[in-house]
Amino acid sequence: MRLRASSLSPEEKTELQQFAEWFLSIGDGTTPNTVPVEQHDTTWVQIPKYILLPAEQRNLTGLISFVYGSTPHMSELPDYLCERAILAPTNELAAAINSQVMSQIATEEI
């Protein structure tokens, strides 16, 4: 869906296309396994470095900052937020993310 966003630069579209192709290859089972020697499980996949956050940003605050960046002008806020998402494995983590994002927005919740 993000590949269709009109606000993306050509570089961003290319990067998102590469990610989409990589992600689909995982779902299709065509991504090569990269099993560590000491493991017997064959479900390991190497995540490309361009997808990983720097080590010092691998926490909730760093993830939110990466995905949402700086908050835009209030008139642009709904569209800005609709173009971004963080998927969470549990409702508790989703609530923590929502709470932290909402605390950074200088407006009343609705």
User: pLDDT tens-digit profile of 90-104?
Assistant: 999 999 999 888 888
Same domain, residue pair 90 and 48: no
Same domain, residue pair 6 and 42: yes
Same domain, residue pair 110 and 57: yes
Q: What is the pLDDT of residue 39?
A: 67
Q: Are 29 and 68 in contact (CB under 8 A)?
A: no
Same domain, residue pair 37 and 27: yes
Instruction: Write the pLDDT tens digit of every residue in 41-87.
Output: 667 777 888 888 899 999 999 998 888 887 666 667 778 888 888 98
Q: Average pLDDT of 26-32?
A: 83
Overall domain count for the chain: 2
Alpha carbon 76 to its chain centroid, in Å, reads 20
Same domain, residue pair 57 and 110: yes
Q: What is the pLDDT of residue 71?
A: 67
Domain that holds residue 88: 53-110
Q: Which residue has the tokens 């993306």?
A: 8
Q: Which residue has the tokens 């937020």?
A: 81
Q: What is the pLDDT of residue 101?
A: 85
Give the ranges where the chain is alpha helix by DSSP (H): 10-28, 60-68, 77-82, 91-103
Q: Are 61 and 42 in contact (CB under 8 A)?
A: no
Same domain, residue pair 61 and 98: yes
